[in-house]
Structure 1
Amino acid sequence: MNFPIIDVSKQSVAQFATECSKGRAMRTVAWYRVVRPALVLCMWVLAAVYIRWCLANASPEELSLDAFMPGITGIAAVAAAMTVWTIGRQMDAINTHRARRMPVSDDVSLDATREIAVGNAGRCLVAYHDDDGAVSHVVSMPEFERQTA
């Protein structure tokens, strides 16, 4: 398959049909636009129903603050780690003087790699995958737009 992973759910049946049969294209679009979102929604609804049932059948000791503290502490630790990580990434993005290393791909020119490495193209990349699902190559967004135009 020759389409970017990131935009696969936005493609029409006709775009998928250029890569595979019409039937498989319809199944793929149905999976990405209907079945997969419905599964995610069902999982959230089932989780909410289960939590409501647990709270409705819990004893007063199980609903005390002491019973919830380990979970609250774990959630707070994860939130703090994510906050520190985000702040660190923002500080790293501001530091443009640091040399950034990027692997050079056969499909991406050296100029495009240099442009991405110095931050002129931003961080917008398009990843392509092969039939096995592995990423085959990555291109910058400007190069992707030139290829599709």
Structure 2
Amino acid sequence: MASTASCLRVNVHYEKWEPMTFTANMEDRVKKISEHVRSKTKVPVQDQVLQLGSKTLKPHRKLSSYGIDKKTTIHLTLKVVKPSDEELPLVLVESGDEGQRHLLHVRRHSSVAQVKEMIESKTGVTPEKQIVTCNGKRLEDGNTMANYSIRRGTLLFLTYHCIGG
């Protein structure tokens, strides 16, 4: 059983909600605080950034690693990262015998047309000749990566329009 001497109070502040207070152990990881916040606010852990002053806390680190005094209350600030701002590193696989792979850095709000321009800069294939698919669906101009629920690390596949077959 942990002694009360190793416990501390954690206050988490966010502009849209009342402050949240939790009791934590000095050996708890920051991720545990994020899980408490998620249970109260429904904000997914991956969309949270917890800060102590100007320091951003890393989920895998223990509270004690930040030099927090166990006799005081720590005040953390919660920032919510909007999913539309998220960068999505994706792998593009070209059709053909070699199946060349290219890393693309897109954002959730990137349009398919913008992604096709990135593909052109990597492969030299013009957007008009590209057929880009993901999870069995053809990506259509006018949509964004978010429209297809594309996540970090997703594979995109590139094939080409054939003229005169």
**TM-score when scaled to structure 2?**
0.21
* Greater fraction of residues in helix: 1
Q: Which has the higher contact order (CA 8 A, sep 6+)?
A: 1
**TM-score when scaled to structure 1?**
0.23
* Greater fraction of residues in strand: 2
